[in-house]
Chains A and B, each alone.
Chain A
């Protein structure tokens, strides 16, 4: 969906951060384009939050350049930061102040944000009616919403959300997804989302970056990621999978991925399935059914990161 010919909204070049001996972020470079939702995926401790904190100004990179909306963060800090909005970890605000006052205070730090805009974002996240209550009375989901409202207040060019679905109810997640898609696709905001909920990513993101142990392993679209799983998996139902495996082991040894009491998963190309079934029947195995199993993002992910993903 991203138009690669236009100027990136966020450029990260060689970003590196070391804490003691541990390199949390290791020479990461990527571009984020207006109008796309970019998913940032990685196991716990992969460096997602460190990278986000680096972009948002919490942590100084040891090395590397961050350019936001054409402004280098180092030399034009305020101009660069005025184009960025987001939530890092949990949204936390001044608990004893009302949601509206929190937004007003945040608005004051930006240029030209009207009270109408505050009402608009409150409306957008569905908090208009409770805007004058103190934040401390809010549930985590409501805090997420108000955090989102704050992030969107100044119409940022880059929106960065760290695990935004945390604490949201299904309706809230749905709403969030709509808001993010609206922002990206209609308003041309470059959205970066980190999450460990892969299913979420699948529904939300246009592109995905996979990070592990501080290194950016791959950037690809959802389709590309799913195709990486070398073809499709076919589940063959048979009364004796062990025997079936023996029959197939001569020609398809490396393709058998999974075995249960009555099924056998085999990862082969669509063109090969005919031959495979023939081999089984010739070998004397009975076939009760053949079913194509969709390859999932998780499997692709596990393959790329070499396991260790936290799957809910």
Chain B
């Protein structure tokens, strides 16, 4: 063992004295830093921007609506209503608006009414403290308040003669709704908003329970109504999937492609875990928000670009590690030394792995730090998973590194190919060239295969077994790694192969390649 460590130490010294290695590490670092820092700017989704609502804009809108409408009293009509009681006839005067066929005037009147309502109801509203465009609650409650106010006004337009007990019940409901909406807006209480929309929906025969469920869940998270519009929209999106997932579990079937298909055992377990994680995240206020998602994807983008250079570095290191020594003859001082040849082989392999893993950790760390500094470290969510019935999490940095590893299997295989050639040839260029060519031809073949459609035999191709990220991390969408649409509800493994199959496949592939390398270096004579 001590000999292997000594050999390993020497290998690390050799690599660390190569200028090319450091040059590539420098390029890799710079690319990672730039990519992770500017990902949001390059790729950032548009913020959801609403029109500014404040006192002056409402006043201005009210003034213009009034001007367009002209004198509202010119549409007022009077009529006499005759009510026949058991003993008497009562005559009442009624006032109502009559536009006739004038659509333009109708539109103007509605506009005028809306703006006068807004103007009236927001007299005492503190726009500076809770700007209506900034938080989702103020916007929703504002809309709901306006709606309820309008309903009340229209409700009151019902001529007296048509008012019955149903009218009165509804009148009470609208008043309640209005009261809740007002409280939600003025006191910034999300729960009151939920109460208001419950009352609102109760007036309709088909109640949209999903929306109420979602808004209730949001109310639990955002009690004081401080979340931004985009954040709430994101949470809304998560909750839509959450409740659909729950619904699927309840029904035991999934709606896809226009029909229900029964849940498979693994799919059910997957959905159950997802629901449990989401419950936990919502309870702990650590679900993947809009910001989390951006931050997490920035890190992964940095890693994926940095990795391009890491592949080059890894292939050069692996491809030259033995063949270069054979070509220059420096292998002699290793062969003469009192160390068995398999130990040299193992030490070299370990050293190559160290550089790859070290490089991987470097790009993970760099992009995490860059994103942490630009978008806040708190925006980097841990990865959640279910183990033994309870929700557990791993810190973001560790998760990002594991994610890097899981997504680098393909790279490791190509590096191993370079190492195999390196063990069997003095030609380092061939080792690097052939493995690079393999990467490219692999991509081209995949391109053709994708056009060919999916077939069962393709499951046995290396390509379909090399990306195990989604198989290892089945709940990536829950930490903002993918959009929910592509993750939580669609099949978590896009390829119908289990993690177990891919693992065994990769182990066999690795052992075969290692054996060829071992045979080439350890068992053959060195001329």
> Would you call A58 and B335 a contact (CB within 8 A)?
yes
> Would you call A92 and B330 a contact (CB within 8 A)?
yes
Residue of A nearest to B13 (CB): A105
Q: How far is the CA of A78 from the CA of B6 in the complex (A)?
A: 14
Q: Write the nearest CB–CB distance from B10 to chain A, whole angstroms.
A: 4
Q: How far is the CA of A60 from the CA of B525 in the complex (A)?
A: 6
Q: Find chain A residues with CB under 8 A from B6 CB.
A: 108-109
Contact of A90 with B337 at beta-carbon distance under 8 Å, contacts A60-B525, A96-B17, A108-B10 already known: no
Q: Find chain A residues with CB under 8 A from B9 CB.
A: 108
Q: Find chain A residues with CB under 8 A from B332 CB.
A: 58, 87-89, 91-92
Chain A, range 232-263, C-beta contacts under 8 Å to B: none
Query: Among A56, A101, A108, A110, which residue has its beta carbon within 8 angstroms of that of B335?
Result: A56
> Would you call A93 and B525 a contact (CB within 8 A)?
no
Q: Find chain A residues with CB under 8 A from B526 CB.
A: 53, 58-59
What sequence of 0s and 1s flags, for each residue 329-344 of chain B, a beta carbon within 8 Å of any chain A beta carbon?
1101111111111000
Q: How far is the CA of A78 from the CA of B4 in the complex (A)?
A: 12
Q: How far is the CA of A57 from the CA of B526 in the complex (A)?
A: 9
Contact of A94 with B14 at beta-carbon distance under 8 Å, contacts A60-B525, A108-B6, A109-B6 already known: yes
> Would you call B328 and A95 a contact (CB within 8 A)?
yes
Residue of B nearest to A57 (CB): B335
Residue of A nearest to B19 (CB): A96
Q: Write the nearest CB–CB distance from A66 to chain B, whole angstroms.
A: 14
Query: Among B10, B18, B340, B525, which residue has its beta carbon within 8 angstroms of that of A58?
Result: B525
Q: Find chain A residues with CB under 8 A from B13 CB.
A: 97, 101, 105
Q: How far is the CA of A96 from the CA of B335 in the complex (A)?
A: 19
Q: How far is the CA of A33 from the CA of B328 in the complex (A)?
A: 33
Q: Is residue B285 within 8 Å, beta carbon to beta carbon, of the partner chain?
A: no
> Would you call A93 and B335 a contact (CB within 8 A)?
no
Query: Among A78, A85, A110, which residue has its beta carbon within 8 angstroms of that of B340?
Result: A78
> Would you call B336 and A93 a contact (CB within 8 A)?
no
Query: Among B18, B339, B341, which residue has its beta carbon within 8 angstroms of that of A96?
Result: B18
Contact of A79 with B338 at beta-carbon distance under 8 Å, contacts A96-B18, A109-B6, A109-B7 already known: yes
Contact of A78 with B338 at beta-carbon distance under 8 Å, contacts A58-B525, A58-B526, A60-B525 already known: yes
Q: How far is the CA of A213 from the CA of B6 in the complex (A)?
A: 40
> Would you call B17 and A109 a contact (CB within 8 A)?
no
> Would you call B333 and A106 a contact (CB within 8 A)?
yes
> Would you call A81 and B14 a contact (CB within 8 A)?
no
> Would you call B329 and A90 a contact (CB within 8 A)?
yes
Q: Write the nearest CB–CB distance from A129 to chain B, whole angstroms.
A: 22
> Would you call B329 and A110 a contact (CB within 8 A)?
no
Q: Find chain A residues with CB under 8 A from B329 CB.
A: 89-90, 92
Q: Find chain A residues with CB under 8 A from B330 CB.
A: 92-95
Query: Among A58, A78, A91, A95, which residue has its beta carbon within 8 angstroms of that of B3?
Result: A78
Q: Find chain A residues with CB under 8 A from B3 CB.
A: 78, 109
Q: How far is the CA of A80 from the CA of B336 in the complex (A)?
A: 11
What sequence of 0s and 1s flags, for each residue 15-38 of chain B, a beta carbon within 8 Å of any chain A beta carbon?
001100000000000000000000
What sequence of 0s and 1s flags, for each residue 36-50 of chain A, a beta carbon within 8 Å of any chain B beta carbon?
000000000000000
Q: Find chain B residues with CB under 8 A from A58 CB.
A: 332, 335, 525-527
Q: How far is the CA of A79 from the CA of B339 in the complex (A)?
A: 9
Chain B, range 291-350, C-beta contacts under 8 Å to A: 328-330, 332-341
Chain B, range 469-527, C-beta contacts under 8 Å to A: 525-527
Residue of A nearest to B334 (CB): A109
> Would you call A92 and B328 a contact (CB within 8 A)?
yes
Q: How far is the CA of A110 from the CA of B333 in the complex (A)?
A: 12
Contact of A84 with B10 at beta-carbon distance under 8 Å, contacts A60-B525, A92-B330, A94-B330 already known: no
How many of chain B's residues have a CB under 8 angstroms from any CB in A? 25
Q: How far is the CA of A82 from the CA of B6 in the complex (A)?
A: 15
> Would you call B333 and A93 a contact (CB within 8 A)?
yes
Q: How far is the CA of A251 from the CA of B206 in the complex (A)?
A: 139
Chain B, range 397-417, C-beta contacts under 8 Å to A: none
What sequence of 0s and 1s flags, for each residue 47-72 of chain A, a beta carbon within 8 Å of any chain B beta carbon?
00000010011111000000000000
Contact of A106 with B335 at beta-carbon distance under 8 Å, contacts A93-B330, A101-B13 already known: no
Residue of B nearest to A58 (CB): B526
- Max count, chain A CB within 10 A of own CB: residue among B329, B332, B335, B340: B332
Contact of A110 with B337 at beta-carbon distance under 8 Å, contacts A96-B17, A105-B10 already known: yes
Q: Write the nearest CB–CB distance from B278 to chain A, whole angstroms.
A: 54
Q: How far is the CA of A295 from the CA of B285 in the complex (A)?
A: 101
> Would you call B10 and A78 a contact (CB within 8 A)?
no
Q: How far is the CA of A106 from the CA of B337 in the complex (A)?
A: 7
Q: Write the nearest CB–CB distance from A83 to chain B, whole angstroms.
A: 8
Q: How far is the CA of A81 from the CA of B343 in the complex (A)?
A: 14
- Max count, chain A CB within 10 A of own CB: residue among B328, B336, B526: B336
Q: Find chain B residues with CB under 8 A from A194 CB.
A: none
Q: How far is the CA of A109 from the CA of B4 in the complex (A)?
A: 9
Q: Write the nearest CB–CB distance from B514 to chain A, whole angstroms.
A: 21
Q: Find chain B residues with CB under 8 A from A214 CB.
A: none
Q: How far is the CA of A94 from the CA of B18 in the complex (A)?
A: 11
Residue of A nearest to B327 (CB): A92
Q: Is residue A212 within 8 Å, beta carbon to beta carbon, of the partner chain?
A: no
Q: Find chain A residues with CB under 8 A from B341 CB.
A: 57
Q: Find chain A residues with CB under 8 A from B10 CB.
A: 105, 108-109
Q: Is residue A86 within 8 Å, beta carbon to beta carbon, of the partner chain?
A: yes
Query: Among A59, A84, A106, A150, which residue has its beta carbon within 8 angstroms of that of B525?
Result: A59
Residue of B nearest to A83 (CB): B338
Q: How far is the CA of A296 from the CA of B499 in the complex (A)?
A: 77
Q: How far is the CA of A191 from the CA of B481 in the complex (A)?
A: 67
Q: Write the nearest CB–CB distance from A55 to chain B, whole angstroms.
A: 10
Residue of B nearest to A61 (CB): B525
> Would you call A88 and B336 a contact (CB within 8 A)?
yes
Query: Among A57, A90, A101, which residue has its beta carbon within 8 angstroms of that of B336?
Result: A57
What sequence of 0s and 1s flags, for each residue 212-235 of chain A, a beta carbon within 8 Å of any chain B beta carbon?
000000000000000000000000
Q: Find chain A residues with CB under 8 A from B336 CB.
A: 56-57, 81, 84-86, 88
Q: Write the nearest CB–CB distance from A131 to chain B, whole angstroms.
A: 16
Q: Is residue A16 within 8 Å, beta carbon to beta carbon, of the partner chain?
A: no
Q: Find chain B residues with CB under 8 A from A81 CB.
A: 336-339
> Would you call B338 and A109 a contact (CB within 8 A)?
yes
Q: Write the nearest CB–CB distance from B3 to chain A, whole angstroms.
A: 7
Q: How far is the CA of A78 from the CA of B17 in the complex (A)?
A: 28
Query: Among B328, B337, B525, which residue has its beta carbon within 8 angstroms of that of A109?
Result: B337
Contact of A150 with B338 at beta-carbon distance under 8 Å, contacts A95-B328, A109-B3 already known: no
> Would you call B525 and A78 a contact (CB within 8 A)?
no
Q: Is residue A102 within 8 Å, beta carbon to beta carbon, of the partner chain?
A: yes
Residue of A nearest to B14 (CB): A94
> Would you call A110 and B17 a contact (CB within 8 A)?
no
Q: How far is the CA of A26 from the CA of B484 in the complex (A)?
A: 73
Q: Write the nearest CB–CB distance from B423 to chain A, whole angstroms.
A: 15
> Would you call A109 and B339 a contact (CB within 8 A)?
yes
Q: How far is the CA of A82 from the CA of B3 in the complex (A)?
A: 12
Can you list 6 pairs linking A and B with CB atoms under 8 Å apart? A59-B527, A79-B338, A91-B332, A92-B333, A95-B330, A96-B18
Q: Beyond A89-B329, A91-B332, A97-B14: 5 further Cβ-contacts under 8 Å? A: A57-B335, A57-B341, A78-B339, A93-B333, A150-B333
Residue positions of A touching B, CB distance < 8 A? 53, 56-60, 77-82, 84-97, 101-102, 105-106, 108-110, 150
A-B pairs with lowest CB-CB distance, top 4: A92-B329, A81-B338, A82-B338, A109-B337
Residue positions of B touching A, CB distance < 8 A? 3, 6-7, 9-10, 13-14, 17-18, 328-330, 332-341, 525-527
